[in-house]
Structure 1
Amino acid sequence: MNQLSIILPAKNEAPALAVLLPQLRAAQPQAEIIVVDDGSTDDTRNICESHGVQCLSSPYSMGNGAAIKRGTRAASGDILVFMDGDGQHDPADVARLLDQLNRGYDMVVGARDWGSQAGVGRGIANTLYNWLATKMTGHPVLDLTSGFRAVRADKFREFLHLLPNGFSYPTTSTMAFFRSAYAVAYVPIKAAQRVGKSHIRPLKDGIRFLLIIFKIATLYSPLKLFVPASAVFFLAGFANYTYTLYAYHRLTNMSTLLWSAAVVVFLIGLVSEQITGLMYRPYK
């Protein structure tokens, strides 16, 4: 039987952990449970000690993704389960993810329904991400940004060097698995209201969410992003040339500039495609 490690990144989530940890221990009594304390200033460490749970503490906050990486390096299990430490995820759903993983998948993600989204704005953004990721990969992506997932440890560790220290580790890991032809499945879940205040800041993180859209494309196949962009520049140049040819009977600098931009964007896409291929070579 494979050893199971459950990793919970947490920053000032002591009230939630006080409720979550005993429930998690009851649901998975044989699992190794690791709480990665991301620079908390509350009783997170004491709560973990009182429940006999391993706690890895950082002297300052390094980010959600950094906590995931640290927990992954410390885990001894062949199977890793990542859960939020804020009480949103039901420990009973761990068994459902593991059951699907045992059917031959390499990653199983808990897919939230619309009612589980943290507000209308987040729901719309996640719907956009899911649609774009589905178009890029050619496979249904039901929840690109869910932090509740079960993975095979050896496969996940291949991509630790790609994971950012911030909140977008789910996006990066999902696209990396698809790129490497590792099987990904989704299990519907309902996420509860989080305990305490969210660490996500709408204004600052809005820019981050926009960057995720470009990360989706560049992590999987940059040419799928750069070729359409190049085509837009080329067609714009052609339209401008057609107009100036009939209006002024000459080729203008604007048409030349747009066509040059089309070539440059296409070449950047080619180079990015080669760099992306190098990123997925086994990391030693």
Structure 2
Amino acid sequence: MAERESGVGPRGVLHPEQGASRFTVTTAPPGPALAPYVEYHWIVRWDVTGQPPYESRVLSHPNVHLVFEPAGPLLYGVIRGVYTRRLVDAGQVHGVRFLPGGFRVFAPGPVQELTDQVLPAARFFGEEADALCPRVLACPETDAMVALVEGFLAERLPAEPDPSPALGRGYPHAAQVAAVVREMTSDHTLVRVEQVAERFELSVRTLQRLFAEYVGVSPKAVLRRARLHEAAQRADHGSVDWAALAADLGYSDQAHLTRDFTAVVGVSPSRYARGER
């Protein structure tokens, strides 16, 4: 079942080449029962024994994560800044990356209420999540870890696939919201919320309400983050013509890209490209 093992990790991991010798990331697809809600499982394994602690930094995506870690299972809402994880000694964690909108079936209210929050998973899945955590982390093989977590989540899927009454009849369900986000993050010609609304035949207001209910951040924030992911990935892969990239990504000019990137990542694009943190 394991899909990929890499020393660099998925898109969004900052300075992946610096972490390549310190940790690996394995991803695995969900089974059929969870495929409408889960994008993939991810397992990070690290070993910095005898070395200084390493801080892995991630420019987060518009996804909710359930993470089984040594201190206990946690639920991470969408993180709007850069998420930093300090790696010490050796260990592993198992994460479930829900599709944008996919966690809504498990949430007691709008996903927006979870944004920038890190909460005990037991609030959403009961004390059984705490009991499951050591069993998951004791598994030496990825497939066994995934099977335990898949079974746990599948048993807790609600009978009603979309519990939100807030938007009334006729509005897209979680799978359709995920499709909107997928288009927004893959098509770099979409640079304004109005373009997205027009493509999916929705009003801007409806799109904003959908994202508050299902995704956790605004459509504008999703578009902005997709552009920053692209800028960071280009910088990770060699020399960049920043003025040309700014134009490609729909920025008014290079200065606009620089301000946006610096505000979120903490260093300018040129300093990031030089490996500065």
Bigger radius of gyration among the two: 1
Relative to the length of structure 1, the TM-score reads 0.23
More strand by share: 2
Relative to the length of structure 2, the TM-score reads 0.24
More helix by share: 1
